[in-house]
Structure 1
Amino acid sequence: MATKSVPQGSGALPVTIDDVNAARERIGDAIVETPTLRSLTLSNLTGADVWLKFENLQFTAAYKERGALNTLLQLDQEARAKGVIAASAGNHAQGLAYHATRLGIPSTIVMPKNTPIVKVTQTEGHGATVILEGETYDAAYAHSRELEAEKGYTFVHPFDDPRVIAGQGTVALEMLAAVPNLDTLIVPLGGGGLISGMSVAAKAIKPGIEVIGVEAELFPSMYNRVHHTEMPCGGDTLAEGIAVKEPGKITSKFVEALVDDIVLVGERKLEEAVSLLLQIEKTVVEGAGAAGLAAMLSEPERFRGKKIGTVLCGGNIDTRLLANVLLRDLARSGRLARLRIRLQDRPGALYHVARIFHEQGVNIIEVYHQRVFTSLPAKGLITDIECETRDRNHLDRLMTALRRAQYEVRQVELA
């Protein structure tokens, strides 16, 4: 398949490889040059040669620092004195706040009122003034632009700014310096800042390289823009970092010119990818950060045999959400299960069931009895038993043993 290349002449894009190289010189001393490492286990699992760029190891745990810092360093003294402003409840807020404070530049971040308190306190902890305004990102964004005009702040866009795009492109410089013979880059895609900068750099260094964007199925905004489709954008996605309803106007030009394809991934594959990265690589990533691996899991035939670099773009995931993802993965693999068993309401009923669990070497975690809210006769009851098994085969043996003992049993399935 022929790959897209950097346009020349009057149709040239507003960021070039020279801009990305200049950004690297500017930000190099203050940004972690995160490792690009091969994953032997994920390579064996996917059939591709998988290389991971650990951007979750930046100080604020995301690549967003690069573009934010590149922008801050290009402000004149007057702009620095007045300060910067952004609308963000995510990684951009923390990256901008951290580097602005480090440089002595006042920063203001506008967030929706429903932003989780942990994100507010983290951003304030990096030295920013946080303003809660509106119920949606759009309302927070509108207020930030009003404050920009009123106070003379410099607005720093999370993705639709050439300075930000150039900064994000430094990710590709580091990846190709570490592994020059990569033939495919798989890049999480939301607003498009990361993939825009990376595609400019990668295509200039290695014109034949393939660049693939990954969006959540629930938010196919850039896919719609490029393919002229009208799939709905909305819903609760694990990949909130790429949950963008409207892609950037500038970044859309880069994607149309340079990105070879966009893959859409479902929530189950995102959950599986987050879990695998923690179990195999012992690294915590947010849903967006796992999107590249999710794409490889979703379309293994497409990527088999290729030398692939993908970006673990961020590691800021709520710990309770991460726990849910891991437990759901255990449930899907059969290692954690809830079995619904029909019993007769008589002495010893639960004992006899528990004995079968013991005989099969299955650990009981929780037991839930239901006598009242059931359609069974008054002498019947439903018991839900949460249990821990070694694997799917072990669970199947348990259920077979229960049925042989004349119990009516079924597994309570996840969505």
Structure 2
Amino acid sequence: MNYDMIEAAAERANGHIRHTPMVNSPFIDKIAGRKVYIKPECLQHTGSFKARGAWSALSAMDPAVRKSGVMAYSSGNHAQGVAWSAAQHGAPAVILMPADAPQLKRNNTKALGARVVLYDRATEDREEKGLALATDLNLTLVKPYDDPHVIAGQGTVGLEIAAQAAELGIEEADVLVCCGGGGLTSGIALALEQKAPGLRVRPVEPEHFDDVARSLSAGSISRNNRMDGSICDAIVTPQPGDLTFPIMQRLCGPGLSVSDDEALNAMAQAFLRLKLVAEPGGAVALAAALNRKNEISGDAVIVVISGGNVDPMMFSRSLISHADVA
């Protein structure tokens, strides 16, 4: 995995992947106590940054291999990214999804043309089940984060952040990234190392599922004790990836974590102040900017909203519980 792969992924993505903007709100600045610049990947194809990594992986495949079909395991955003990319390339796709994944994500994945197979997140190992399924059906497995081409695709977010920060005159800042297995975090970190070395990536996770933060602190990979119990389904992963962790260990600052309620508040603020729809896992970086002020340095912070695929009931919950926050 290297920076050149990110540049190559950006070339393959040209004309297929959206360049998302960098937005700001004085209301959010006031709450955070500094300038907050938000990169809304909830506006990306399929509603999350995952379309970037999926397109990168499938567009790099040998056409004959791709034609046989692809397989992925995901709680929903990588699922939709792979399903969308497979459809664009005319390839069949099978997606292994947890039975408790939001209904919207399950429905969208099917609507994009993929076959969905469900599993029990609490009792079944998705990697073992996914590998067995891919082998049985002769499909190429596209991992959600521990794949060089997937990391390269996610790294294109970093290329855009570097260019947009330069336009805004931002030379030094923390870049808060919603983090599961680390594909987006490590990809952005690699891109910024080359294009904007004054920008430091900080992974953000749900409380009690902060395996990346604990791993960075310990200097070795730490695994979560359980896989359920957070509303931030998109970023609840077993542990950092074998490929992503060394990159994060070398380039990232300390990890941050936020509560489910703080994520809900961030969702409400994103909607009320910026008219952006964020899902819980996609809002944790903004939640950290709003609630971990003393753990962030500098006059400005850059935040990635990584996804907006939220069920209506969960979105309503965020607004009902936090719409009156000043």
TM-score by length of 2: 0.91
CA distance in 2, matches of 1:278, 1:106: 35
Whether 2:12 is the aligned partner of 1:17: answer no
Q: Residue in 2 aligned with 1:271?
A: 264
CA distance in 2, matches of 1:59, 1:156: 18
Amino acid at match of 1:76: D
How far has the Cα of 1:138 moved from its partner? 4.0
**Contact 2:75–2:233 (8 Å) recurs in 1:** no
Q: Give the alignment partner of residue 319 of structure 1, picking from 312, 321, 324.
A: 312
SS in 1 for 2:283: helix
Q: Tell me, which stretches of 5 or more residues in structure 1 are unaligned?
A: 1-14, 334-390, 392-415
Q: Residue in 2 aligned with 1:397?
A: none
Amino acid at match of 1:220: D
Identity of aligned residues (%): 33
**Contact 1:112–1:137 (8 Å) recurs in 2:** no
Whether 2:233 is the aligned partner of 1:240: answer yes
**Contact 1:27–1:66 (8 Å) recurs in 2:** yes
How far has the Cα of 1:303 moved from its partner? 3.2
Amino acid at match of 1:205: K
Whether 2:142 is the aligned partner of 1:156: answer yes
| 1:376-401 deviations in Å (ceiling 9; x for gaps) | xxxxxxxxxxxxxxx9xxxxxxxxxx
Q: Residue in 1 aligned with 2:195?
A: 205
Q: Give the alignment partner of residue 21 of structure 2, picking from 16, 31, 35.
A: 35
Q: Residue in 2 aligned with 1:11?
A: none
Amino acid at match of 1:61: G
Higher relative contact order (CA 8 A, sep 6+): 2
Q: Give the alignment partner of residue 260 of structure 1, picking from 229, 253, 258.
A: 253
SS in 1 for 2:203: strand
Q: Give the alignment partner of residue 288 of structure 2, picking from 277, 286, 295.
A: 295
Q: Residue in 2 aligned with 1:66?
A: 52
**Contact 1:49–1:307 (8 Å) recurs in 2:** yes
CA distance in 2, matches of 1:189, 1:135: 19
CA distance in 2, matches of 1:329, 1:160: 36
Whether 2:213 is the aligned partner of 1:223: answer yes
1:183-198 matches, within 5 Å, as 183=172, 184-198=174-188
Please list every run of at least 4 consecutive aligned residues from structure 1 whose deviation after the TM superposition is greater than 6 angstroms. none
Q: 1:204 to 1:133 in 2, by over 3 A?
A: same
Q: Tell me, which stretches of 5 or more residues in structure 2 are unaligned?
A: none
Amino acid at match of 2:199: I
Q: 1:283 to 1:115 in 2, by over 3 A?
A: closer
Amino acid at match of 2:163: A
TM-score by length of 1: 0.72
Q: 1:116 to 1:292 in 2, by over 3 A?
A: closer
**Contact 1:112–1:132 (8 Å) recurs in 2:** yes
Amino acid at match of 1:103: H
SS in 2 for 1:29: coil
- CA-based RMSD of the aligned residues comes to 2.1
Aligned length in residues: 319
| 1:281-320 deviations in Å (ceiling 9; x for gaps) | 1111011221122112222134364222111110011110
1:300-311 matches, within 5 Å, as 300-303=293-296, 305-311=298-304
Q: Residue in 2 aligned with 1:146?
A: 132
Q: Residue in 1 aligned with 2:64?
A: 78
CA distance in 2, matches of 1:330, 1:195: 30
Q: Residue in 2 aligned with 1:118?
A: 104
Q: 1:67 to 1:193 in 2, by over 3 A?
A: same
The structure with the larger Rg is 1
**Residue range with higher mean Cα deviation, 259-268 or 105-114:** 105-114
CA distance in 1, matches of 2:57, 2:225: 33
SS in 2 for 1:272: helix
Q: Residue in 2 aligned with 1:167?
A: 153
**Contact 2:121–2:228 (8 Å) recurs in 1:** no
How far has the Cα of 1:234 moved from its partner? 5.0
Amino acid at match of 1:309: I
